[in-house]
Amino acid sequence: MTKLNWGMIGGGEGSQIGPAHRLGAGLDGAFTFAAGALDHRADAGRDYGQRLGLAADRAYGDWREMLEGEKGREDRVDLVTVATPNSTHFEITKAFLEAGFHVLCEKPMTMTVEEGEDIVRTAAKAGRICAVNYGYTGYSLVRHMRAMVARGDLGKVRLVKAEFAHGHHADAANADNPRVRWRYDPAQAGVSAQFADCGIHAMHMASFVTGQEVTELSADTVSCIESRELEDDAMVNFRMDGGTVGRLWTSSIALGRQHGLTLQVFGENGGLRWSQEQPNQLYWMPLNGRLQVIERGEGGLSPEADRTSRVTVGHAEGMPLAFANIYADLAEAIHAAKAGRPIDPAADLYPRAEDGLRSMAAVFAVAQSGKARGAWTDARPPMFR
């Protein structure tokens, strides 16, 4: 298959998530890193882009320059990743979709539900892929959990328990540090801090694995560090359209927790447990059976798990490889679209703009329910009601 050209906006030198995207996109040889506007400082972006190997005329100073520069090229980028701060996602993603590029946007996709609906419509109108980087769904054993649920191993799923709780903003003395403070400032972060940053990963994963969407929720949101205007901890109960009950805890003050993304799924015939910090083991407890450890890369797993596993069993695979699986899905989707053939079903699992929109609706529902002391609130975007 011919290599695709890939570009990135944001993810500049020293950024948190830029390196994981570059590793993920480059890993399988499906994409060539061909263009970028990597930094909010034009010179720094151009310089870093060239140090990473971009041609001087494709190491752009800002995203508008990149849009203009790429639009007219025959070898223009096939996919653009938007890895800038949250408030810029909407404008950049919309502009690139309208110009006919496929986009992978970082989460949260937008700042409002209306913007989210706009992106879904824009992508549909342009006939372009808009994916959202719920990158942890790229883990092989997360794909396997989904396959096990879909083929009925668990029977009806009664309950799902999701967590994304870390302790990295637990220091009250550090609450005024500018790198932390903006996250809890409604003017910069919007209506939610911790749920919008981390909770949406956990909620999306619950949907991804169960194959169900969240319909309504009740949230208890709290600022454990009192000077914060937005929540640093939330407990969210939810209901899903297939009848599954959901429980979700997200926190940034949970000292001793590191990354803290965990999913448990309890069905009539068995239960599953997976943690992002030990992603190569999945715990499976069949009803009336014994607890079993499923290892990533072992024989007899699902096609979805096999497709997303690269090194042999017993060797660790981690987060950049999960991102690489999102890129592998997108490469397959773009090649399939170009050739006018159906996409490999095991690859048709990348998170969509619709998922990004559902997350925004959940963010606003959590904020509203939290203010109303846990009142049950419709969590669906208006366009999906």
Give the end-to-end CA distance of the chain in Å, rounded to a whole number. Answer: 41
Residue 40 touches ligand NAI, criterion: CB under 6 A: yes
Residue 262 touches ligand NAI, criterion: CB under 6 A: no
Are 269 and 148 spatial neighbours (Cβ–Cβ below 8 Å)? no
Min CB(208)–ligand NAI separation in Å? 14
Q: Residue 361: which H helix or E strand, with range?
A: helix 353-371
Residue 119 touches ligand NAI, criterion: CB under 6 A: no
Report d(CA 119, CA 123) in Å as an integer.
Answer: 6
Report d(CA 179, CA 250) in Å as an integer.
Answer: 20
Q: Please select the residue that binds ligand NAI; options are 70, 106, 163, 232, rule is CB under 6 A.
A: 106
- Spell out the residues 6+ positions from residue 103 whose beta carbon is closer than 8 angstroms to its own: 79, 80, 81, 82, 93, 96, 97, 123, 128, 129, 130, 131
Min CB(150)–ligand NAI separation in Å? 24
Min CB(205)–ligand NAI separation in Å? 11
Count of residues in contact with ligand NAI, rule CB under 6 A: 22
| Bridge partners (DSSP) listed for residue 246 | 160, 238
| Bridge partners (DSSP) listed for residue 82 | 9, 105
Residue 104 touches ligand NAI, criterion: CB under 6 A: no
Residue 181 touches ligand NAI, criterion: CB under 6 A: no
Using the contact rule CB under 6 A, the part of the chain among 7-15, 120-128, 259-267, 305-313 near ligand NAI is 7-15
Q: Please select the residue that binds ligand NAI; options are 10, 199, 246, 381, rule is CB under 6 A.
A: 10
Residue 330 touches ligand NAI, criterion: CB under 6 A: no
Q: Sort residue 284 into left (φ over 0), alpha (ψ -120 to 50) or beta.
A: beta
Q: Buried (b) or exposed (e) across 207-225, using 16+ Cβ within 10 A?
A: bbbbebbbebbbbbbbbeb
Report d(CA 68, CA 64) in Å as an integer.
Answer: 6
Q: Please select the residue that binds ligand NAI; options are 133, 140, 207, 302, rule is CB under 6 A.
A: 133
Residue 9 touches ligand NAI, criterion: CB under 6 A: yes
Using the contact rule CB under 6 A, the part of the chain among 32-40, 299-307, 333-341, 351-359 near ligand NAI is 32-40
Please tell me whether residue 327 adopts helix, strand or coil conformation.
Answer: helix
Task: Considering the complex, state which of residue 37 and residue 154 has its C-beta at the smaller distance from ligand NAI.
Answer: 37
Q: Binding string to ligand NAI for residues 48 to 87, with x set by CB under 6 A, is what?
A: --------------xx-------------------xxxx-
Contact residues for ligand NAI, defined by CB under 6 A: 9-12, 15-17, 37-40, 62-63, 83-86, 88, 106-107, 133, 135
